[in-house]
């Protein structure tokens, strides 16, 4: 008997269509660049074979089938000739339009929101990420329910022959989805609570948080790996990484004038134009790391032909998240290695004259020393505006509090006396608040212990 051999699954033949409304369009993007981004999105899905793409001009969308009769027939001929199995529409498609197009063309169809959800579902790795994607997908699927199974209506309700139909299949499906969404929200609340506890713990650590944000594929993860030595997955692909990553690093003393301060660097999910509202809501908890940041690094792909439009999309999403305009930020013009030597030199001259701008190449390392110096300077401006002197007295048993103060670098002099350790400090209001949170947590731990009353009372207080 011949042995059975496993064969690899054949890739799905896909075709991308970008509907363009011409003069009536409200998008900032040129249709050719929007189509290129849609193709890149499609290639981010596993098992896809791209067989063609086009910009389809529309005067106005047809409510039933999106395209007119002539355009429908024209596209169908191309799809049949190329044996297309999956059509990706780069834009919103109503449930009715999706059902009619799939029926007319004989293919599976996804709109932009569905495509991005598919990518996120494939890339999510952490428990929180999986839950967020499932919740967003169900929210999207709930709007896709159409009146397709009227023959599955339950027996008629009401009294006598005047009673209307009972619960329809669509209502049952919607109820099932609502119940599943409720379960997911409860699970996600527990995960989000854990994240908030971790965030509260980090607030007790005297290290500033620097968050990387930017358009997808701008090079955030590559820059993150360069600065931290981490091995976060980085690839020239849209949404290569989804799950946020944080690392504590110490900034090097670049030219003898740096502080060598320790910071927490956070890599976040990339943004994209027309990001589905379901995903914005689902990933809000993850992106709250940006809201807690002391400094934001807005990483831009400066070699992209529509880098200004991408920057505008990122700014809009940050505004929707509620990021304060007063938060310190540095624009990182990344991928200068993809530009010619003259343009690259011009950008380096521009960043030298412009505050809050740094031109770098995360791939080659060019300009990173200047970026590190700019981060150090920006944090110094944000965190070290006023260092106020103060003297504290610590009990000899408070070793953890003493270690915290020395780690923060705020101790100028220390002297032992009969009543404890006298420390002369010079610190900022933020560092003082973080220390208060740290010692408050220490006291809570002692009070929660059953044997707390038998222990020597610890703590700190300003010297008289």
Over the stretch 292-333, which tens digit does the pLDDT of each residue have?
Answer: 788 899 999 999 888 998 898 888 888 877 777 777 889 999
Name the nearest CA neighbour of 148 among 96, 108, 105, 93: 96
- Tell me how far apart the alpha carbons of residues 438 and 402 are, in angstroms, rounded to a whole number: 11
| Distant-in-sequence, close-in-space partners of 177: CB < 8 Å, separation ≥ 6 | 138, 141, 142, 145
pLDDT tens, residue by residue, 352-379 = 778 889 999 998 888 888 898 888 888 8
Asked if 235 contacts 340 with a C-beta cutoff of 8 angstroms, the reply is: no
| Distant-in-sequence, close-in-space partners of 398: CB < 8 Å, separation ≥ 6 | 421, 458, 459, 460
pLDDT tens by residue, the chain, 464 residues = 445 544 456 888 999 999 987 655 555 678 888 898 889 888 888 888 999 999 988 888 888 999 989 999 999 999 999 999 999 999 888 889 999 999 999 999 988 888 888 887 777 666 777 777 788 788 787 777 654 444 444 444 444 444 445 455 667 777 787 788 888 888 877 776 766 665 565 555 567 888 888 888 888 888 988 888 766 555 545 555 555 677 888 876 544 455 567 888 888 777 877 776 666 665 665 566 677 788 899 999 999 888 998 898 888 888 877 777 777 889 999 999 988 888 888 888 887 778 889 999 998 888 888 898 888 888 877 766 567 889 999 988 888 889 888 877 788 889 988 888 999 998 877 778 778 877 765 554 444 444 333 433 334 344 43
| Distant-in-sequence, close-in-space partners of 194: CB < 8 Å, separation ≥ 6 | none
| Three-class secondary structure of residue 126 per DSSP | coil
- 419, 424, 430, 431: CA torsion to nearest 10: -70
Amino acid 73: pLDDT: 93
- Tell me how far apart the alpha carbons of residues 147 and 170 are, in angstroms, rounded to a whole number: 6
Name the nearest CA neighbour of 49 among 101, 1, 9: 9
Amino acid 102: pLDDT: 92
Name the nearest CA neighbour of 67 among 31, 33, 26, 17: 17
Amino acid 447: pLDDT: 45
- Sheet of 295-301, strand order: 245-250, 262-267, 209-214, 295-301, 328-334, 357-359
First to last CA, the chain: 93
Residues 251, 319, 280: CA angle, nearest 5 degrees: 95
Q: Could you tell me if residue 448 is left (phi over 0), alpha (psi between -120 and 50 degrees) or otherwise beta?
A: alpha
Cα distances from 229 to residues 222, 225, 335, 363, in angstroms, run: 10, 5, 19, 13
Strand partners, 421: 394, 416
What is the enclosing helix (H) or strand (E) of 190?
Answer: helix 169-203
State the sign of the Cα–Cα–Cα–Cα dihedral 20, 21, 24, 25: negative
Considering the entire predicted model, what is its pTM? 0.67
Asked if 402 contacts 395 with a C-beta cutoff of 8 angstroms, the reply is: no
| Three-class secondary structure of residue 307 per DSSP | helix
The DSSP letter of residue 3 is P
């Amino acid at each position: 008997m011949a042995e059975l051999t496993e064969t690899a699954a054949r890739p799905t033949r896909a075709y991308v269509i970008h509907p363009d409304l011409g003069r009536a369009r409200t998008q900032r993007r040129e249709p050719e660049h929007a189509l290129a981004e849609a193709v890149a999105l499609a290639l981010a899905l596993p098992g896809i074979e791209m067989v063609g793409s086009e910009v389809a001009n529309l005067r106005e969308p047809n409510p039933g089938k999106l395209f007119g009769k002539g355009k429908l027939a024209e596209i169908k001929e191309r799809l049949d000739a190329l044996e297309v199995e999956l059509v990706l529409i780069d834009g919103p498609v109503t449930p009715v339009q999706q059902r009619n197009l799939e029926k007319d063309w004989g293919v599976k169809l996804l709109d932009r929101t569905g495509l991005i959800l598919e990518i996120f579902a494939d890339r999510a790795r952490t428990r929180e990420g999986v839950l967020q994607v499932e919740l967003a997908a169900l929210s999207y699927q709930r709007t896709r329910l159409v009146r397709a199974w009227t023959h599955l209506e339950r027996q008629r309700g009401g009294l006598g022959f005047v009673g209307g139909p009972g619960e329809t299949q669509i209502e049952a499906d919607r109820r099932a989805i609502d119940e599943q969404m409720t379960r997911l929200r409860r699970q996600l609340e527990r995960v989000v609570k854990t994240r908030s506890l971790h965030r509260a713990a980090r607030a007790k650590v005297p290290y500033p948080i620097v968050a990387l944000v930017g358009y997808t594929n701008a090079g955030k993860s590559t820059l993150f790996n360069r600065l931290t030595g981490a091995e976060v997955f980085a690839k020239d692909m849209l949404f290569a990484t989804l799950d946020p990553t944080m690392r504590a690093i110490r900034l090097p003393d670049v030219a003898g004038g740096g502080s060598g301060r320790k910071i927490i660097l956070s890599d976040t999910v990339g943004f994209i134009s027309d990001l589905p509202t379901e995903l914005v809501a689902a990933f809000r908890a993850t992106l709250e790391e940006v809201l807690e940041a002391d400094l934001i690094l807005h990483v831009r792909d400066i070699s992209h032909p529509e880098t200004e439009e991408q920057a505008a999309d990122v700014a809009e999403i940050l505004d929707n998240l509620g990021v304060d305009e007063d938060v310190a930020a540095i624009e990182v013009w990344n991928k200068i290695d993809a530009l010619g030597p003259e343009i690259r030199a011009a950008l380096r001259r521009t960043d030298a004259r412009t505050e809050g701008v740094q031109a770098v190449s995360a791939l080659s390392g060019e300009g990173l020393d200047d970026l590190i110096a700019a981060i150090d300077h920006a944090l110094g401006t944000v965190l070290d505006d006023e260092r106020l002197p103060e003297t504290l007295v610590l009990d000899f048993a408070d070793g953890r509090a003493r270690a915290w103060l020395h780690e923060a670098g705020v101790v100028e002099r220390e002297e032992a006396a009969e009543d404890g350790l006298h420390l002369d400090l010079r610190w900022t209001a933020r560092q003082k608040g973080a220390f208060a949170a740290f010692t408050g947590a220490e006291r809570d731990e002692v009070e929660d212990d059953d044997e707390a009353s038998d222990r020597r009372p610890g703590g700190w207080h300003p010297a008289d």
